[in-house]
Amino acid sequence: MIKKTKKGSLNATKNIPVKLIDLESNSTLTASELKLKEPEKAKSLFAKFQDGVTKKAVNIIKGRSKVIDEVLDSIDLTIAVDDSTKSMKVSEAAITALRNGVKNNSAYKDDENIRNEITKVEEELKRLPDKTISESIGLDKPIGSLPEFRDDMQLKKMKDLGLLAGLNEDERMKIMNKAGKINFLTNAKIRTMVHDKDITPEQSIKLENATALYMLLDQNYVLANSL
């Protein structure tokens, strides 16, 4: 048991909800492992992966052929991130998605000039260095190191810290807007919020305590998982 010795010091950990500690419990998993363990939690992460890979694919193709640039403006090119695509090179996935998009477009599917242009772009891309989709987005890295995951977790942690301190939604939003990230939520920042009447002195003590525990757990995933 840790006793509070002065304002802002860490209070008894029994007052910290298990929910707060559990926020880091999946950080050491890869995205694929998370998808197997917690499919619902993985949906948002994989949606961001899909958006990111699709943008990379479009950027790889764009500017190499005026004909293909016009096609890109007219079709929906989307690259799924799953077991069937993760080992593909980004350029390979891009060309495959482009061909599928053309095939499914009534105005382009029988255009031999477009097919020839795709082949030319494909040959050009084969000569360039490339990564697999998995390598490109860090699919085999612990998700705790990925910006897509960290951004989501910042929002969730800030919400839980606010709830722990007894803050309503408007007050939590003020904290998020002023601090940005929990790592920036220092005691000095919290005291400024008290001065600006964003939170009460009583709430600030609870917020300081919760933030101190988060800082400890965020640096030690093993400790977070063992509590």
In angstroms and rounded to an integer, the radius of gyration of the C-alpha atoms of the chain is: 24
Share of the chain above pLDDT 70, in %: 79
pLDDT tens by residue, 105-134: 999 999 999 999 999 999 999 999 999 999
Helices marked H in the chain: 18-22, 31-37, 39-61, 66-72, 90-103, 112-126, 133-137, 147-164, 169-179, 187-195, 201-218, 221-226
Q: What is the pLDDT of residue 224?
A: 43
Give the closest residue to 131 by CA, choosing from 159, 91, 176, 174. 91
- Which contacts qualify for 55-58: CB closer than 8 Å, 24 or more apart? 56/90, 56/94, 56/136, 57/90, 57/91, 57/93, 57/94, 57/97, 58/94
- Bridge partners, 142 (sequence order): 30
Q: What is the pLDDT of residue 146?
A: 80
Q: What is the pLDDT of residue 219?
A: 52
Rounded Cα distance, 200 and 63, in Å: 56
- Bridge partners, 89 (sequence order): 132
Q: What contacts 198, CB < 8 A, 6 or more positions away?
A: 171, 174, 175, 178
Q: What is the pLDDT of residue 218?
A: 55
Altogether, the residues listed in the chain come to a count of: 227
pLDDT tens by residue, 86-98: 999 999 999 999 9
Asked if residue 35 has pLDDT above 80, the reply is: yes
Q: Which of 9-13, 181-185, 222-226 has the lowest mean pLDDT?
A: 9-13
What rounded mean pLDDT belongs to the chain? 80
- Bridge partners, 132 (sequence order): 89
pLDDT, mean of residues 7-36: 60
